[in-house]
Chain A
């Protein structure tokens, strides 16, 4: 769990670049929309980095495509970590 959380945090940092705040405390219940306030294009950037990192092992994009907009907006970091670890 912790390792996946670190990966996701690092990739988020990449995506948010200048806007990354070191005081962001990314945990399982951190929500992409409400807490991190990611724009959808930033979410795409994150999805691509995750796909790149985990390779064909994990079908992120397929999973995200199966969610509707409400689903994506409600996603937490924990949901992502769970998806990775249950692959």
Chain B
């Protein structure tokens, strides 16, 4: 793990493996590269150069008070990839808001495969679980909820992160002010949504806007990386294999 200076933030990043680049992006508030690391570091690193990023404010990245709009979040990842010498086309998989960061990243550099995992539409969300940090915490899947309810250091740190992001940064107002997505540069998009997800309006929108390459539903809600890890790995592996055939 190392931190890369992107100007007004230090972005924590780690990577494993060699081959075509796969960038894995987490969701907001409770996300960090750890969620992807336990899923992706083993399997995908056998065939890909897997790059795990902590978005600003999250994980071990710094937490500036501004810059949580999607163009800046994408710019952070873009600068990190520049710093790591990544200049060819990349595959990106993003969970929840991380998927939107991936969409914006495609405005900055070629994204050959873009996998959106339970990704909401930008702007005020129609998903009640994403309506507020409290709602998000309430909607956490079993194992993560247990951490919260157990009290202790991990719960304290999780709550502190959520509190700090909600109250000490522009994150919430940046999220609310997001304009609709410009899909011009988005190609080869793959959708993975939970059957019980509150973001299915987004799935519909993406299907209509893009005529997405593929779309599948998994037996879970919003936090698919935790709820359906094996299926996520399987789905992502299929997408990457499809991608390599087309190369």
By a beta-carbon cutoff of 8 Å, the part of chain A in contact with chain B is 33, 37-41, 43-45, 47-48, 61-70, 72-73
Q: How many A-B residue pairs have CB under 8 A?
A: 59
Classify the interface of chain B: helix, strand, loop or mixed: helix
How many residues on chain B are close to A (CB under 8 Å)?
27
Whether the Cβ atoms of B35 and A65 lie closer than 8 Å is no
Within 8 A of A (CB), among B9-53: 14, 16, 32-35, 37-43, 45
- The reply to whether B38 and A70 form a contact with Cβ atoms under 8 Å apart is no
- A39-B158, A69-B229 given; 9 more Cβ-contact pairs under 8 Å: A40-B38, A41-B33, A44-B34, A61-B45, A63-B42, A64-B38, A68-B229, A69-B38, A70-B143
* Residues 133-161 of B at the A interface (beta carbon under 8 Å): 143, 147, 152-154, 157-158
Q: In the assembled complex, which residues on chain B have CB atoms less than 8 Å from the CB atom of A73?
A: 143, 147
Given known contacts A62-B42, A65-B39, A65-B43, A44 and B1 CB-to-CB distance under 8 angstroms: yes
**B226: Cβ under 8 A from any A Cβ:** yes
Residues in B lying within 8 Å of A, measured CB to CB: 1, 14, 16, 32-35, 37-43, 45, 54, 59-60, 143, 147, 152-154, 157-158, 226, 229
Query: Once the chains bind, are B1 and A40 in contact (CB under 8 Å)?
Result: no
Given known pairs A37-B153, A41-B34, A44-B14, the reply for A66 and B42 (CB within 8 Å) is: yes
* Closest-CB distance, A58 to chain B (whole angstroms): 13
* B32: contacting residue among A41, A62, A63, CB under 8 A: A41
Q: How far is the CA of A61 from the CA of B14 in the complex (A)?
A: 12
Contacts A33-B154, A68-B229, A69-B226; A61 near B143 (Cβ below 8 A): no
The answer to whether A44 and B154 have CB atoms under 8 Å apart is no
Can you give 22 A-B contacts (C-beta < 8 A)? Answer: A37-B152, A37-B153, A37-B154, A38-B154, A39-B154, A40-B38, A41-B32, A41-B33, A41-B59, A41-B60, A43-B34, A44-B33, A44-B37, A48-B14, A64-B38, A65-B37, A65-B38, A65-B41, A66-B42, A67-B38, A69-B229, A73-B143
Quote the shortest CB–CB distance from A69 to chain B (angstroms).
Answer: 5
Q: Say how far A45's CB is from chain B's closest CB, in angstroms.
A: 6
For residue B157, which residues in chain A have a CB less than 8 angstroms away from its CB? 39
A19 to chain B, nearest CB (A): 8
**Which residue of the partner chain A has the closest CB to B157?**
A39
Other-chain residue from B1, B45, B154 in contact with A45 (beta carbon distance below 8 A): B1
Best-buried of B16, B37, B38 by chain A (most CB within 10 Å): B38
Q: In the complex, what distance in Å separates the CA atom of A70 from the CA atom of B141?
A: 12
B34 touches A64 (CB 8 A): no
A48 CB contacts on chain B under 8 angstroms: 1, 14
The distance in angstroms between the C-alpha atoms of A85 and B37, with both chains bound, is 24
Q: Contacts A41-B34, A44-B34; is A65 near B42 (CB within 8 Å)?
A: yes
A61 to B34, CA, bound (A): 12
| Bound Cα distance A83, B60 (Å) | 27
- Chain A residue numbers with a CB within 8 Å of B38 are 40, 64-65, 67, 69, 72
